[in-house]
Amino acid sequence: MATITASVYTSHVPAIGAALDLGKSGEDYWKPLFAGYEPSQAWFKAHQPDVIFLVYNDHASAFSLDMIPTFAIGCAAEFKPADEGWGPRPVPVVKGHPELAAHIAQSVIQDDFDLTIVNRMDVDHGLTVPLSLLCGQVAQWPCAVIPFAVNVVQYPVPSGRRCFNLGRAIRKAVELYDEPLNVQIWGTGGMSHQLQGPRAGLINREWDNRFLDRLIAEPDRLAEVPHLEYVQEAGSEGIELVMWLIARGAMSDRPPRVAHRFYHVPASNTAVGHLILENSQ
């Protein structure tokens, strides 16, 4: 059977991708951020999976207001980097895993989570920045990736509780897959940030770090936090953090091993948070 071995959580700030693509990662502004991901790249090399199930959100790139799926699973063989208005990021095309994606859709929909199946979709910085942070600048991504896009742009977005339970359904689906694949699940977005209105620029270091503590130690209770608290405490775009609960819900019920933890302010307008959790063997 396939197994979820680890989960990775990280912010997906577009400016991080731009810094890498434009060769600015050595600048003083960016050095501390990329230093925080050096252990992650070493960890990833040593723990390379067959497939990454990558939870992220689209930022008005693949989905306009024409259609707004709450949960969209990418079932295609490949996904091109999106042109977000200044040309696509110069990163490899993302290769999917259509068989596992279709299997997860089949299982999770029958568990009452109404996924939208997407067979054609470009992927934006929400998906490619986390890959760059963990894999570095590469000619090919080292494994298959199943994109899983969550609507966190138009309210109401899914609750933390629903995301956590969806993660559990994804875990069950993966464990029912016959081929012995090593699967990682990544939850991306956040941490505190607000990109709009007179309150733009909000950062809440204390709340963010408590979120990291609770994600490790008591994710089921963290899943009860209502939308309003995310918006008030972590800013209007801090709501992206509900996506981390999908990845956490997909982990074993036993306490995880914390392989790496990192927090940094700022990356452009955003607080950057990062965790790597391994399932105990």
Binding site for other proteins (CB under 8 A): 14-15, 59-61, 64-66, 83-86, 153-156, 192, 194-207, 227-228, 231-233, 235-237, 265-266, 268-269, 271
Identify the CA nearest to 241 among candidates 264, 266, 210.
210
Q: At its nearest, how many Å lie between other proteins and the CB of residue 224?
A: 16
Choice among 193, 227, 260, 264 that is catalytic: 193
Of 176 and 200, nearer to other proteins (C-beta) is 200
Of 34 and 43, nearer to other proteins (C-beta) is 34
Q: At its nearest, how many Å lie between other proteins and the CB of residue 122?
A: 11
159: how many CB neighbours lie within 10 A of its CB?
A: 16
Choice among 12, 59, 103, 125 that is catalytic: 125
Whether 125 is catalytic is yes
- With the CA atoms of 241, 159, 253 and 133 taken in that order, what torsion angle do they form, in degrees rounded to the nearest 10? -20
Of 180 and 197, nearer to other proteins (C-beta) is 197
Whether 264 is catalytic is no
Q: At its nearest, how many Å lie between other proteins and the CB of residue 238?
A: 11
Are the C-beta atoms of residues 247 and 55 closer than 8 Å to each other? yes
Where residue 217 falls (left for φ over 0; alpha for ψ -120 to 50; beta otherwise) is alpha
Q: CA-to-CA distance for 163 and 1, rounded, in angstroms?
A: 24
Identify the CA nearest to 129 among candidates 202, 232, 58, 210.
58
The residue whose two tokens read 């990845």 is 247
Q: At its nearest, how many Å lie between other proteins and the CB of residue 217?
A: 23
Of 81 and 167, nearer to other proteins (C-beta) is 81
Q: At its nearest, how many Å lie between other proteins and the CB of residue 239?
A: 9
Of 252 and 269, nearer to other proteins (C-beta) is 269
Using CA atoms, how far residue 239 sits from 101, 109, 206, 256, in Å, is 26, 24, 16, 24
Kindly list the catalytic residues.
125, 193
